[in-house]
Amino acid sequence: MRKWEKNIRTVEPYVPGEQPQNTDVIKLNTNENPYPPAPEVVRASAEMNTDRLRLYPDPAASVLIDALAALHGVKSTQIFPGVGSDDVLSMIFLTFFNSDSPILFPDITYSFYSVWADVYRIPYETPALDGNFMINAEDYYKDNGGVVIANPNAPTSIYREPEFIRDILDHNRESIVVVDEAYIDFAGRSALELLDDYDNLIVVRTFSKSRSMAGLRIGYAIAGERIIKALNDVKYSVNSYTLNMPSIELGTAAAKNNDYYSRITQKIIATRERTVKELSKLGFECLPSGANFVFAKHTSMAGEVIFKELKEAGIFVRHFNAPRINDYLRISVGTDEQMDRLFDFLRKYA
């Protein structure tokens, strides 16, 4: 082996859900929003001054940060934006997880966490979810180099109230506790209400799900000012211009038009509830969902078989070939028409 080969920073990469180029498929595999962005976003896009593409974007994304601060009732100095929440989470891992003690996150959760830990050489432990796929708070009472909790969790879809997060925070005064709220708008109360009580809490959000903007790549962290400063110091040491100009402008329009997004979120929640009922009639069990997807298992058929047959029929869902969850399908909530097509296909297994 050549010397440079020995020095390669090897890592087993994260595998994103498939993005088929064939637009005919019913795409229920990456938890995207089935509805378009707000009309104001569409207008801002049509009116965008493309001459400004010559220039670098505002490295601080100030107009977006100000709109996000107004949306969440926090100061602009409490927001750190990034290229999707993946970028924000990656920066958090790089900035804060530098301890010899392992960071902690559940064994079944967003599978990118272990990949970032691997690529940055961060030790980690993964306490097991219980038999009902619930996180056991006591597993996070021990010494650690940081804690990461997705709430609602993915791919289980299970949501826990802020009291549960508070319990973890109370036992982790000396650690950074990250709450990844990618799906919170489909669930309930946010851990944001705990921000004033805990200067070690970081809440991470995304515009990819409830804001219908996965294609623009906008995510952000909300935390105390010291945490945001530390993140910015690392960000400006890696890449100053993370968000591009269209993302800043269109993201700002999205942040300012909350009513539209609340309406489509309610619609998705209603379709989710109908999906759970229909799937149970078709022989599936779903975990209680607080997300824009359901995690469903057929009572007799193997998950992988259904996954493959659905794919052949042009209906894409997600299947994880991992212990304890390989009989489950993660099904994003689409429009009612898309879900009806799914139910029609699944009737053959009922």
Contacts of 283 (CB under 8 A, 6+ apart): 298, 299, 300, 301, 349, 350
Distance of CA 139 to the CA centre of its chain: 23
Nearest to 189 by CA among 153, 222, 160, 221: 160
Supply the DSSP symbol for 191. Answer: G
- Provide the minimum distance between the beta carbon of 344 and ligand PMP in the complex, in angstroms, as a whole number: 27
Name the one range near ligand PMP by CB under 6 A: 42-50, 81-89, 129-137, 335-343.
Answer: 81-89
C-alpha distances (whole Å) from 214 to each of 36, 51, 114, 297 are 11, 25, 22, 27
Select the residue interacting with ligand PMP from 32, 86, 139, 249 (CB under 6 A): 86
- Provide the minimum distance between the beta carbon of 314 and ligand PMP in the complex, in angstroms, as a whole number: 22
Tell whether residue 84 is a contact of ligand PMP (CB under 6 A). yes
Tell whether residue 85 is a contact of ligand PMP (CB under 6 A). yes
Tell whether residue 220 is a contact of ligand PMP (CB under 6 A). no
Name the one range near ligand PMP by CB under 6 A: 49-57, 79-87, 135-143, 267-275.
Answer: 79-87
- Provide the minimum distance between the beta carbon of 151 and ligand PMP in the complex, in angstroms, as a whole number: 9
Main-chain dihedrals φ then ψ at residue 231, nearest 5 degrees: -65, -45
Select the residue interacting with ligand PMP from 28, 108, 150, 179 (CB under 6 A): 150
Name the one range near ligand PMP by CB under 6 A: 70-78, 84-92, 168-176, 306-314.
Answer: 84-92
Supply the DSSP symbol for 169. Answer: H
- Is residue 342 within 8 A of residue 28, CB to CB? The reply is yes
Select the residue interacting with ligand PMP from 147, 182, 248, 269 (CB under 6 A): 182
With respect to ligand PMP, which residue has the nearer C-beta, 72 or 346? 72
Q: Say how far apart CA 321 and CA 333 lie, in whole Å.
A: 21
Show contacts with ligand PMP in window 102-121 (CB under 6 A): 110
Nearest to 31 by CA among 190, 146, 152, 125: 152
Nearest to 168 by CA among 125, 139, 137, 126: 137
With respect to ligand PMP, which residue has the nearer C-beta, 207 or 282? 207
- Provide the minimum distance between the beta carbon of 187 and ligand PMP in the complex, in angstroms, as a whole number: 12
Q: Say how far apart CA 20 and CA 22 lie, in whole Å.
A: 5
Supply the DSSP symbol for 106. Answer: -
- Provide the minimum distance between the beta carbon of 90 and ligand PMP in the complex, in angstroms, as a whole number: 9
- Provide the minimum distance between the beta carbon of 114 and ligand PMP in the complex, in angstroms, as a whole number: 13
Residue nearest to ligand PMP (CB): 84
SS3 (DSSP) at 205: strand
* Two tokens, residue 20: 């088929």
C-alpha distances (whole Å) from 334 to each of 128, 265, 276 are 30, 11, 13
Tell whether residue 271 is a contact of ligand PMP (CB under 6 A). no
Tell whether residue 147 is a contact of ligand PMP (CB under 6 A). no
Q: How many chain residues are in contact with ligand PMP, going by CB under 6 A?
A: 12
Nearest to 332 by CA among 316, 347, 321, 346: 316
Tell whether residue 32 is a contact of ligand PMP (CB under 6 A). no
Tell whether residue 181 is a contact of ligand PMP (CB under 6 A). no
Tell whether residue 206 is a contact of ligand PMP (CB under 6 A). yes
- Is residue 195 within 8 A of residue 203, CB to CB? The reply is yes
With respect to ligand PMP, which residue has the nearer C-beta, 37 or 219? 219
Interface residues with ligand PMP (CB under 6 A) are 84-86, 110, 150, 154, 180, 182, 206, 208, 214, 219
